[in-house]
Amino acid sequence: MKSFVAILSLAVLTAASPVLETRTPLKSPQDASEACGENVVTCCNGSGEQNSSGLISAIVGPIASNGCIGVGIQAIALLNPITSTGGMCSDNEVKCCSGNKNSDLLVVDLQCTSL
């Protein structure tokens, strides 16, 4: 009887639990580039302070508070075999922003979506 109650309790808890969003985390810069389509893969700093974490910041300098740095397709090709999006942007958020992915240029009025 105790096992029946335990199994029934587990079934009730499972049914009452909220459904978790199943989202596959990006694993490589190339995955991010493909997910962004024509938009630019960016590392965006949402904090109120300048941030120097991640390979992109090490290469081009710190990301200003609430700013973004675009990662063009040439940089994606170089970074893809050596790091993940986590290493590329580190504490900063990976986003897709409007702009030209061939030149890394971002539109001044950033229209970004999180990946």
Rounded percentage of the chain residues whose pLDDT exceeds 90: 27
Number of domains comprising the chain: 1
Instruction: Write the burial class of residue 58 (CB in 10 Å: 0-12 exposed, 13-18 middle, 19+ buried).
Output: exposed
- 15 in a structural domain: no
Supply the pLDDT for residue 3. 45
Q: 94: left (phi > 0), else alpha (psi -120 to 50), else beta?
A: beta
Question: Phi and psi for 41 in degrees, rounded to 5?
Answer: -70, 130
Whether 70 is in a domain gets the answer: yes
| Residue 8 forms part of a structural domain | no
Contact 53/90 with Cβ under 8 angstroms?
yes
Q: Residue 81: inside a domain, yes or no?
A: yes
What is the model's pTM? 0.71
Residue with the bigger pLDDT between 46 and 24: it is 46
Residue 93 pLDDT level (bands cut at 50, 70, 90): very high
- Structural domain including 95 reads 23-114
Confidence of residue 111 (pLDDT cuts 50, 70, 90): confident
Mean pLDDT of the chain, nearest integer: 77
Question: Is there a domain that residue 51 lies in?
Answer: yes
